[in-house]
Chain A
Amino acid sequence: MNFDALDLNTVWFLLIGVLFTGYAMLDGFDLGVGALHLFTKTDEERRVMLNAIGPVWDGNEVWLVTGGGALFAAFPNVYATVFSGFYLAFVLLLVALIFRAVAIEFRSKQPMRWWRQMWDIGFSAGSILSSLLIGVAMGNIAWGIPLDERGEFAGTFWSLLHPYSLLLGVTTLALFTMHGAIYALLKTAGPLHDRLRGWVRNGMIFFIVCYAVTTMATLLYVPHMAARMRAHPWLFSLALANLLAIANIPREIHHGRDGRAFLSSCAALVTLMGLFGLEMFPNLVFSNPDPTHSLTIRNAASSAKTLGIMLWIAITGVPLVISYTVCIYWIFRDKVKLDRMSY
């Protein structure tokens, strides 16, 4: 089989989108559980929260690693421009991710109160900061960043922190927090579960307010995204699906169907990422103020040969990944019961 008939650049735009969407959907709830971690009171509750994500957080983070690798391979210019341009922001993101990861592993290995509190804070702060920074990065990509004629970033660290990107940072945090709270609902029982219901409600309100503000801000201030929507009216159906998915979350929660609420939350994340990606297309990095310097699926891509090889790798690898990811979620499908293997 060869891929001559396919537009490989478009295929890889979509596949990178799939990888980052997978990351947002899966690690999103890990980060959300982390953001909620300090709201829990007793040590046992905190352990339950940690073990809710215990067997899966590691695999979920691999979606980011693989997404990064795929971006490097398929669109090296985007990888180079964004990573070097967002230097300090990404270093902070790395430090936040490190703290979050090791805190999960370290925390319950010692009984001292100060020890556990230190790593509790590390876990929670790392999760919150990661969510915010991921959102800020998305906000900048949506808003556009200044690029010079070589496609290099021409701004500074501080120029990345404008109101729109910060708004997206907060929205991402809200989305992940809601998503994580619903996931935690599935994994807990008893009083913690009942209190989580309240947090889910607050999380939904927090997210829906942010979502409304972000949508308005995007329509008003990010004309290039709205323009694509007008040019391709079928995108409205995706926006509608997104709206329905979000609206369905409170409905399912109200009826106590937590599993379906979680699926709706996943659907909301997928459609949001879909909208984001398709409104950017064919740009990967939009250059603002001079759109002619934008990095697109054409001028930033690797050769057709590499994209073809990578597609083979994806076709072989992704079904394997999905099959054993499903197995592992299945093995650990029960609510959390602490035992001596637990964190």
Chain B
Amino acid sequence: MDVLLLSRLQFALTTAFHYLYPPLSIGLGLLLVIMEGLWLKTRQPVYHQMARFWTKVLALTFAIGVATGIVLEFEFGTNWATYSRYVGDVFGSALAAEGIFAFFLESGFLAVLVFGWDRVSRKVHFFSTCMVCLGAHFSAIWIVVANSWMQTPAGFHIVGEGMKARAEITDFWAMVFNPSAMDRLFHTLCGAWQAGAFLVVSVGAWYLLKQRHEDFARASLRVGLLAGMLASLLQLVSGHDSARGVAKNQPAKLAAFEGLYTTTSRAPLTLFGWVDEKEEKIKGGVAIPAMLSFMAHNDVNQPVTGLREFRKEDRPPVNLVFQFYHLMVAAGLGLIALAGLGLFYYWRGCLCEKRWLLWLLVFSVLGPQIANQAGWFAAEVGRQPWIVYGLLRTSAGLSAVVKASQVLTSIILFSVVYLLLFAVFVYLLNDKIQHGPEAADLSPSGKLALPTREAA
């Protein structure tokens, strides 16, 4: 195997694994703010118990997220050195900003959130929870800005020629607010909120099924389902905006999402199918006529660009992108339906009797994870063959001095380590869930128990 394929595999593997965790940290961060806020407002001990329980889970996901995140930062240099030289002037400042503005905030206040329960007052603790949530969101901002710049580069010019060519920044804010950045940020954040909300829902549903910790379970479902529903609906809006942006800025990618080869007005929206890349058509597909034109341009008569407008070497792998994209959309729609059903029966007061629905809600935790992973694969494979869209090919971004055998060694090493980490994570998370929330957490201790506020 060649260095290009191996390096792409390694980056895909390490990113996909990493991306199981940050969405959970971001989503749980937000839910913790809600839970702790509810506790401060209503003084119902069950919210305190929930906040304590999910804090432990957040600490676990955060630790793995940090450990696997450093790998990605290093990989730009180790595996994609030519890319790093080419984009460092533009891309690097977003990464540095992420460290300064997001990671310090997040990791610093996480200490107070996790270890500070009995040390600081309620308000200081709540403030820390908010800062952890904010830090997690900041980290999403900067990394999605950087990644979006690779999709829709802006605010730069090219200096030098041939091997010496590189992108230099001309307008920092144009780089930050590059055409796809805000759509994709919103889309990513909605996905993260869904990940957190449905984890809470899933655990609540499990306890209801097993008839354990029922007060905790009902409160979890109430908070989780509402947050999950809201995030899923927002996701629908942001997904639509995002797709319209892709149609405008990366037409080849949109055509791959939809498996559309011929440029046509009244372009159909394919619901599912199999793209035959040799014959350049979709097999066994079901489509809604004219819907894609309407979705992309708000006008059925507007043409949507097809893949034949692009040279073969400029097209992404179509079927792969098509399937990932459709998997993401299906998972997203499924989550809306599930959250809707859950809320409906919850408000009717008979959720406990619908065991089939509770089982579905237990597995709903997989929905956002599948959608998040599939969405990223669609976005990044859809960017191919470019590493920076339209500017630098992926094959031109490799490290000049790194050999295939070295990359193979590191892939094997990371695979073994990550398999172990994943097994341990699932084991510990399951153990925590089976153990359940602490009864002792129903009565706050330490400074938190004090009726009036005291300085930290």
Residues of A within 8 A of B (CB): 54-56, 58-59, 61-62, 64-70, 72-77, 79-88, 90-91, 94-95, 97-99, 101-102, 104-106, 109-110, 150, 152-154, 157, 302-303, 305-306, 309-310, 313-314, 317-318, 320-321, 324-325, 327-328, 331-332, 339-342
Contact = CB atoms under 8 A, between A and B. Distances in A.
A64 B118 CA distance: 30
B60 interface: yes
Contact of A69 (B82, B95, B107): B95
B324 to A, nearest CB: 27
B287 interface: no
A106 B89 contact: no
B104 A80 contact: no
A64 B70 contact: yes
Interface string B68-79: 111101101111
A188 B410 CA distance: 39
Contact of A102 (B67, B76, B85, B409): B67
A80 B169 contact: no
A152 B82 CA distance: 10
Contacts of B68: 98
Contacts of A332: 111, 115, 119
A94 B456 CA distance: 37
A102 B424 contact: yes
B399 interface: yes
A306 B169 contact: yes
Contacts of A324: 104-105, 108-109
Interface stretch (B231-239, B375-383, B400-408): B400-408
A98 B421 contact: yes
Contacts of A318: 100
Interface string B438-455: 100000000000000000
B100 A77 contact: no
A321 B410 contact: no
A88 B409 contact: yes
B82 to A, nearest CB: 7
B428 A106 contact: yes
B436 interface: no
B100 A313 contact: yes
Given A310-B93, A331-B119, A341-B115, A69 B88 contact: no
Contacts of B120: 331
Contact of A101 (B67, B101, B159, B431): B67
Interface string B96-118: 11111101110111111011111
A270 B108 CA distance: 22
Contacts of A56: 111
B163 interface: yes
B108 A97 contact: no
Overall SS of chain B's interface: helix
Contact of B63 (A72, A86, A104): A104
Interface residues of B, number: 75
B97 A317 contact: yes
Contact of B100 (A104, A105, A314): A314
Contacts of A341: 114-115, 117-118
B289 interface: no
**A-B pairs with the 9 shortest C-beta distances?**
A76-B88, A83-B77, A73-B92, A66-B99, A317-B100, A55-B111, A84-B399, A80-B81, A84-B81
Given A72-B96, A90-B78, A102 B64 contact: yes
Given A72-B88, A84-B402, A309-B93, A321 B100 contact: yes
Given A59-B111, A332-B111, A150 B163 contact: yes
B97 A313 contact: yes
A105 B89 contact: no
Contact of A58 (B76, B107, B428): B107
Max chain B C-beta neighbours (<10 A), residue from A76, A99, A321, A327? A76
Given A76-B88, A110-B431, A321-B104, A328 B81 contact: no
Nearest to A334: B119
B359 interface: no
Contacts of B59: 105
A305 B60 contact: no
8 contacts: A72-B91, A73-B89, A82-B77, A101-B66, A109-B431, A302-B92, A317-B101, A324-B104
A74 to B, nearest CB: 7
A91 B78 contact: yes
B90 interface: yes
Given A102-B421, A318-B100, A324-B108, A84 B79 contact: yes
B84 A80 contact: yes
A208 B196 CA distance: 50
B356 interface: no
Contacts of B96: 66, 69-70, 72-74, 310, 313
Contact of B99 (A65, A94, A154): A65
Contacts of A74: 92, 96
Contact of B85 (A76, A153, A313): A76
Interface string B29-64: 000000000000000000000000000000110111
B172 interface: yes
Nearest to A109: B428
A113 to B, nearest CB: 17
Contacts of B414: 91, 95
Nearest to A82: B77
Contact of A339 (B73, B95, B111, B118): B118
Max chain B C-beta neighbours (<10 A), residue from A95, A314, A318? A95
Contacts of A154: 401
A58 B110 contact: yes
B119 to A, nearest CB: 6
A339 B440 CA distance: 13
A84 B66 contact: no
B74 A68 contact: yes
Given A76-B85, A101-B66, A303-B89, A328 B112 contact: yes
Contacts of B108: 59, 324-325, 327-328
